[in-house]
Amino acid sequence: MTTYALDTNIVSYFLKNDAVIVQKINEEKDKQNRFVIPPMVYFEIQCWLKKNKSKNKMEIFQRIYADQGIGVIDKNVLDIAVTERLTLQKKGFNIEDDDLLIAAYCINHNLPLVTNNTRHFMHIERLKILNWV
């Protein structure tokens, strides 16, 4: 069994009923694979849904994370984020804080990150990235 971490854009595609993402998530569920929502993804999606007052999509989102819950940003995640930030800066790369915390969460829990924003994460060597789009 595999557990996948879903990035904000993948959750957004799912909530917009994108056929490719809905099919892929359903296929993976049929294989008994699981999904987790990193804490920063939860934050970003909740802000978007509340801003747009989308009750229907809020209910769908709640079902996505109901089985697995929401991940936690703990000291280990923060320490990984610090290490990755310094490593990237030495190489001349910058990454947004939200994306850095999503990546650190995935690294800490050894989870592949499903995203369509591969360029946001491509310089983080310890992160496994999957693009289902």
Best CATH choice for the domain 3-130 from the list 2.40.110.10, 3.40.50.1010, 3.40.50.300, 3.50.50.60: 3.40.50.1010
Q: Identify the pLDDT of residue 82.
A: 97
In contact, 21 and 37? CB cutoff 8 Å: no
What are the tens digits of pLDDT across the range 18-39? Answer: 999 999 999 999 999 999 999 9
Ranges of each domain in the chain: 3-130
Q: Which two tokens stand for residue 72?
A: 């936690």
Note the Cα 114 to chain centre separation in Å.
7
Alpha carbons 131 and 114: distance in angstroms, whole number: 6
The pTM score is: 0.91
Alpha carbons 2 and 29: distance in angstroms, whole number: 10
Q: Which two tokens stand for residue 123?
A: 């310089």
In contact, 18 and 113? CB cutoff 8 Å: no
Alpha carbons 115 and 38: distance in angstroms, whole number: 12
On the question of pLDDT at 118 being above 80, the answer is: yes
N-to-C CA span, the chain: 22
Helix or strand holding residue 23 (H, E): helix 19-30
What are the tens digits of pLDDT across the range 32-85? Answer: 999 999 999 999 999 999 898 888 888 888 887 776 778 899 999 999 999 999
Q: Identify the pLDDT of residue 61.
A: 87
On the question of pLDDT at 123 being above 80, the answer is: yes
